[in-house]
Amino acid sequence: MTPLLAIGPDPLELERLAAALDASAGSNAGADGAVVTFLGLVRNHNVGRRVRYLEYEAYAPLALKAFERIGAEIHERWPDVRLALHHRVGRLEIGEASVAIAARSPHRANAYAACRYAIERVKQIAPIWKREFFDGGDMWIEGARADPDDQRARAEAERIACA
């Protein structure tokens, strides 16, 4: 059975996340009225560079714990939302999905907010790195310093999610 949280080299499919959420709904399944999904894709351009492909690397056991933490934060903020989150590693071609998220809830507002919150938090605290291969070279992309206890970052993700 597909786990709710996963990181690995296999191609991502939103259907599998939706099915995992469905399977784990138990006796509450009929109470949900919305599933919001997000798929992050590898695009062919970045700050003026023509991107050829990306390579993703992760510290997998800690990434899974970061996903669990994001799920717990969502449970705290939006108790009626349930989350599925899969991230891919390895070489990804243009147009392929690097991250897939599904948030399911009785009402769409919380599902939308939690889905957005999840991707913002992945970018802040998941130990995952992308190396960009572009016309003329390659480089590691470095974003946020990962600090799961940084409450300002968490508040910023929540602000974006609820905007």
Partner 1 sequence: MRVTVRLFARLRDITGASELARDLAPGATIGTVWRQLAGEFPALADYERSISSAVNADYARMDHVLRDGDEVAFLPPVSGG
In whole angstroms, give the CA distance from residue 51 to residue 93: 10
Using CB under 8 A as the criterion, what x/- string covers residues 32-71 for binding partner 1? --------x---------------xxxx-xxx-x------
Of 31 and 139, CB closest to partner 1: 139
Of 21 and 119, CB closest to partner 1: 119
Q: How far, in Å, are 16, 24, 33, 55, 107 from residue 80 at the CA level? A: 21, 14, 11, 35, 9
Q: Which of 14, 25, 51, 146 binds partner 1 (CB under 8 A)?
A: 146
Of 106 and 148, CB closest to partner 1: 148
Question: Is residue 8 involved in binding partner 1 (CB under 8 A)?
Answer: no
Cβ atoms within 10 Å, residue 106:
14
CB contact at 8 A, 62 and 87:
no
Q: Residue 101 — φ and ψ, nearest 5°?
A: -135, 140
Question: Is residue 99 involved in binding partner 1 (CB under 8 A)?
Answer: yes
Question: Is residue 91 involved in binding partner 1 (CB under 8 A)?
Answer: no
Question: Is residue 17 involved in binding partner 1 (CB under 8 A)?
Answer: no
Q: How far, in Å, are 14, 28, 34, 35, 69 from residue 31 at the CA level? A: 21, 5, 10, 12, 25
| 3-class SS of residue 92 | strand
Part of the chain binding partner 1 (CB under 8 A), chosen from 23-31, 72-80, 137-145, 152-160:
137-145
Question: Is residue 84 involved in binding partner 1 (CB under 8 A)?
Answer: no
- Amino acid 32 reads D
Question: Is residue 94 involved in binding partner 1 (CB under 8 A)?
Answer: no
Interface ranges with partner 1 (CB under 8 A): 40, 56-59, 61-63, 65, 87, 98-99, 119, 122-131, 140-149
